[in-house]
Amino acid sequence: MSPELKQCLAEVEPAPEPSAAFDGIQFPLSLEIGQQAAISSSAEFLYLDQQAVLQAGVLDMRRTVDVIGEALCLFETGKCRQPPKIVLRDGDDVASEDRGRINALFASLCGKERAIGMKWIASFPANRSHGLPRASALIILNSPDTGLPLAIMDGTLISAMRTGAVTALGLKYLAPRDSRKVGIVGAGVQARTQILALVNELPQLNEIAVFSRTAGDAKAIAEDCQQQWQAPVVPAESIAEALKDADIVIPCTTTHVPFVRAEHIKPGALTVQLSHHDSEFGVVSQCSKIVIDNWDVVTHRGTVTPAIMHAQGLLGREQIYATLGELILGRKPGRESESERIHFVHQGMGVEDVALAWSVYTSARGRGLGQTLKLWEKPLWV
């Protein structure tokens, strides 16, 4: 465990001893925060396109899990500032998101020093028919001393990887011990980083069954993940086939119509919800434990199943067993029985984006990647 995280824990009393899950890990975030460029009157910043982000190691899931794990500990111990997520869409109803929406997420983290930034991420489902990604993102990191930009970078892969890493952390504490099969519905970018998380955290898996409405997409992701990561991914012909006897169920779609039924989920299974209203109420209500990233984040947009249940008076904050941060810190145990169904919901937080972006930024600087740009030679007015 890093000295910075131990210091965070020491300042929060009373609390149980933290989990040993991160003992011995040197967190990249703590080590890298504060390695900032000297203040310059020309306001130089580093521009990182997606290729530079890749070369900086964004697809290193183990490092990402370390970074996100510490960020969640900092958040849980009050070492972060995170305003509510802003959602821009062209209508008031959830259905308008099918036409596209843009989210803005912000955070300030206090590890060894401060990291400040924001993510601006668009989600336009129709893009895929034009050969473009559904989601595209920009991340801006700012100097904690001057507020001037330190980096502007492609955030598309950073966003996808941090989502996978949060699932990986959930698996560490909540997955059945002898998990053998995972069922995934959806074959987009999110499915890929979920699979990368699975093969990193649960190498004993025998099967990752993927169903997609477009059969070719399921086949393509299976072949690609087998080749890249030796992941045991196989295409499924139906949702029922993908989820049958699954120890872990992960829907990765943009739908607002639930397709995961309570009868799909066997006793002892873990369901992971990271998108919208893809699971019916019974999936949640039959679980022994509900674990979340953060209650305000889960309920803010009102699009995920527990948020809809809360709005209808069917689920309260008191029914939430724990946050992921509480599990990492050892304040509550994770899975305690191989027979308990557990529902894990995470909707994405700015602290995760800024933490991982900062790690990528410092890696890029150390490797001489990216392009240095200027806002000005000298400011017109001061």
Looking at residue 129, what is its pLDDT? 85
CATH number, domain with residue 39: 3.30.1780.10
Q: Are residues 116 and 232 in the same domain?
A: no
Q: What value does the mean pLDDT take over residues 119-131?
A: 91
- Phi/psi for 115 (5° steps) reads -125, 130
pLDDT tens digits for range 263-276: 999 999 999 999 88
Q: Are residues 183 and 326 in the same domain?
A: yes
Q: Are residues 14 and 31 in the same domain?
A: yes
Angle between helices 189-201 and 156-174 (to 10 degrees): 40
- Our count of domains for the chain comes to 2
Q: Please report whether residue 164 resides in a domain.
A: no
Looking at residue 15, what is its pLDDT? 34
Q: Which domain holds residue 241?
A: 174-345
User: Is the pLDDT reported for residue 326 higher than 80?
Assistant: yes
Q: Are residues 117 and 205 in the same domain?
A: no
Residue of 98, 106, 93, 102 whose CA lies nearest to 302: 93
Q: Please report whether residue 167 resides in a domain.
A: no
Min mean pLDDT across 223-232, 282-291, 299-308, 365-374 is at 299-308
Q: Are residues 55 and 203 in the same domain?
A: no
Q: What is the mean pLDDT of the chain?
A: 89
Note every long-range contact of 230-236, with CB atoms under 8 Å and residues 24 or more positions apart, other chains counting: 230/199, 231/195, 231/196, 231/198, 231/199, 232/205, 232/206, 232/207, 232/208, 233/195, 233/208, 233/209, 234/207, 234/208, 234/209, 234/210, 235/209, 235/210, 235/211, 236/183, 236/209, 236/210, 236/211
- What's 188's DSSP letter? S
Q: Please report whether residue 110 resides in a domain.
A: yes
Q: Please report whether residue 94 resides in a domain.
A: yes
Q: Please report whether residue 380 resides in a domain.
A: no
Q: Are residues 30 and 154 in the same domain?
A: yes
User: Is the pLDDT reported for residue 13 higher than 70?
Assistant: no
Q: Please report whether residue 79 resides in a domain.
A: yes
Q: Are residues 142 and 112 in the same domain?
A: yes
Looking at residue 68, what is its pLDDT? 97
Ordered strands of the 342-345 beta sheet: 233-235, 207-211, 181-185, 248-251, 270-273, 342-345, 289-292, 322-323
Looking at residue 31, what is its pLDDT? 37
Looking at residue 39, what is its pLDDT? 58
Looking at residue 38, what is its pLDDT? 53
Would strands 181-185 and 101-110 be described as parallel, antiparallel, or unpaired?
unpaired
Question: What's the pLDDT band for 348 if we cut at 50, 70, 90?
Answer: very high
pLDDT tens digits for range 158-178: 999 999 999 999 999 999 999
Question: What's the pLDDT band for 259 if we cut at 50, 70, 90?
Answer: very high
Question: What's the pLDDT band for 33 if we cut at 50, 70, 90?
Answer: very low
Q: What value does the mean pLDDT take over residues 108-126?
A: 91
Q: Are residues 63 and 113 in the same domain?
A: yes
Q: Are residues 331 and 199 in the same domain?
A: yes
Residue type, 214: T
Question: What's the pLDDT band for 305 if we cut at 50, 70, 90?
Answer: very high
Q: Are residues 228 and 300 in the same domain?
A: yes
Q: How many residues can be counted in the chain?
A: 382
Cα–Cα distance for residue pair 82/84, rounded to 1 Å: 7
pLDDT tens digits for range 58-103: 999 999 999 999 999 999 999 999 999 998 988 877 667 778 889 9
Would strands 114-123 and 80-81 be described as parallel, antiparallel, or unpaired?
unpaired
Looking at residue 370, what is its pLDDT? 98
Q: Are residues 340 and 364 in the same domain?
A: no
User: Is the pLDDT reported for residue 221 higher than 60?
Assistant: yes
Residue of 153, 117, 115 whose CA lies nearest to 136: 153
User: Is the pLDDT reported for residue 25 higher than 90?
Assistant: no
Encoded tokens for 183? 């069922």
105 versus 8: the higher-pLDDT residue is 105
Q: Please report whether residue 168 resides in a domain.
A: no
Would strands 101-110 and 86-89 be described as parallel, antiparallel, or unpaired?
antiparallel
The answer to whether the beta carbons of residues 149 and 140 sit under 8 Å apart is yes
Neighbour tally for 177: CB within 10 Å: 9
Q: Are residues 62 and 130 in the same domain?
A: yes
Q: Please report whether residue 379 resides in a domain.
A: no
Looking at residue 303, what is its pLDDT? 87
CATH number, domain with residue 202: 3.40.50.720
Q: What value does the mean pLDDT take over residues 331-360?
A: 97
